[in-house]
Structure 1
Amino acid sequence: MTFPYTGWVLMPSFTPKQEKFVSPYGFGDEQKEWHRTEKHKLVHVDSIYFCKAAAIYAGNQRLRDQQAALDKKQANINKRRAALEKAAGESKP
């Protein structure tokens, strides 16, 4: 990787933002994992995208993963609720 270079990152709000990366950060192998922006923000290389479309695609994939995790948790909650309702129904005379 040649510095400086421009890449795209997703902000915490999932808004894609273009950043200029000026140097690697860390020592040894760590240096390959983090890059520093011109505003001294550290970004993991897995979170840097070559274009805005790639950042948007990655953001959508993260949202799909989060939704799948929520759906799984909701299914577990529904099973537990059904078990409690069944137990409550069995205890009635």
Structure 2
Amino acid sequence: MTFPYTGWVLMPSFKPVETIFVEAARYSEGWHRSEGGKTYSTQNIYATKDAAIAAGHIDLNQQQAALDKKQANINKRRAALEKAAGEAKP
């Protein structure tokens, strides 16, 4: 990789932002430093805006799957409590 180069990153708000990277981060393999001084993992730097957006959709799908799994566990626990409460009543 030659510096400087332009890449796309997703902000915590999932907004894709074009960023210029000026050097490899010192003491951190696989990280690049932007003009503003912030470091980004090379796994989170994308060549195009479309690639960053696609990665954001994949991440959101993974987050949704994790939430669905947690909701299923909550529903099972609620059912167990309701069953126990129904058995306790004469």
TM-score, normalising length: structure 2: 0.97
User: Is residue 23 of structure 2 the alignment partner of residue 13 of structure 1?
Assistant: no
Structure 1 residue 26, shift from structure 2 partner: 2.3
Offset from partner CA, 1:3-49 (integer Å, 9 cap, x none): 0000000011100000000000123xx33x11000110111111100
User: Is residue 16 of structure 2 the alignment partner of residue 48 of structure 1?
Assistant: no
SS at match of 2:65: helix
5 Å-filtered alignment, 1:2-81, equals: 2-27=2-27, 30-31=28-29, 33-81=30-78
Offset from partner CA, 1:29-73 (integer Å, 9 cap, x none): x33x11000110111111100000000000000000000000000
SS at match of 2:20: strand
How many correspondences in the alignment?
90
Please list every run of 5 or more consecutive structure 2 residues that lacks an aligned counterpart in the other structure: none
Query: Percent of pairs identical after alignment?
Result: 64
Structure 2: which amino acid aligns with 1:66?
Q
Regions of 4+ moved over 4 Å: none
**Partner Cα distance (2:26, 2:64) in 1:** 34
Please list every run of 5 or more consecutive structure 1 residues that lacks an aligned counterpart in the other structure: none
**Partner Cα distance (1:36, 1:26) in 2:** 9
**Partner Cα distance (1:63, 1:26) in 2:** 31
TM-score, normalising length: structure 1: 0.94
RMSD after superposition: 0.7
SS at match of 2:59: helix
Structure 2: which amino acid aligns with 1:92?
K
Structure 2: which amino acid aligns with 1:41?
K
